[in-house]
Structure 1
């Protein structure tokens, strides 16, 4: 397992679904902010030596964080879309072979899950992502009326794509650069690698690796963080 990983955290979004007076990554969580909890969780993993955070160019909140001037942290100006932010951060990374991209709003990822993902560095894989199998019945909505069911989708073989997502730095840089230049919709790093012809390994994650997207998710994230700290 490599011990020289740089993590990239795109955090330039505005999080409108939270209906708050600030981007969701700056909402309070466990006595800190959501973003700070995520960054501290990542840097406390022994294999992660540095984090590059992509921020909105006019972000007024980050400088007030306790960790804003940490020597393990670099900030860059993010872009309009997630892929633009990740690409801007990638261009700052030059001294490692592998990079790990993680959502700012996933503060609860377990170190054991990161360990299993990092094991891919020794297997010759292009990279992989944390994910978990779909367990619920999946419904396809009618295009003309999103509140009505068109049909049931088979759930066999479907996975929820989570983060971190781990890839060789140069390979991800090439895939993202060419995908964006070709006008491809890049929803996560794995989608760029898939389009580029690479292979993406699925590594099963704990269900506690939730993404905070709605106000009620904050209480659940705080519960998981509390549980993890008492283990």
Structure 2
């Protein structure tokens, strides 16, 4: 590598920079060309999907763009709501738990990186960079959870679990909705079941069974056929009553 002329290195670096700038310009154009009436989050998703055809890469890039978006956007700002909102983070004290977890992560990042520095500077910097990325992601994920409650509209149930997962369920496709963890223990490892609880290990409040499998995309870009969803909410009784009421109206109208 030392025999490679300096001019070649400069040319390669210039090419990489030019390609990066060109790609950024393409993303900006795609964002401006998206439907202006869409919420910012959906515009970002549409922008990435129009430019990146690989589903896995698109999923990771979308998450990174949304991480940056939520990191610098106000925490108390709500995304446009198209239905009745139900929060899922207040009663379990998710904010306090995340604050404590982030405090431990900051201490761990500094301490372990300092320890690794005496062994390998490169590994120390890699560990520090990954720790900072995780901290930033968790902050953005928490802000996304606060800004995107579960929305119940006359026809759909909109669920967005922070930066991790999202689902839209038509009410006419809901076969049953039950309170509690009826079959959670035997279902939680099945591939056609989604656990949309915040931590992933707490007991869910609702078991939603679908009539027809729903094609959803997980956090790493894989398409999944889902037949059952487990969900946790703060306003349990109100949510269950409204879902049943709207579901009855949908069945009567025949939507």
Flag whether TM exceeds 0.5 (same fold). no
- Normalising TM by the smaller chain, what interval? under 0.3
TM-score (norm 2): 0.23
User: Which has the greater radius of gyration?
Assistant: 2
Greater relative contact order (Cα 8 A, min sep 6): structure 1 or 2? Answer: 1
TM-score (norm 1): 0.25
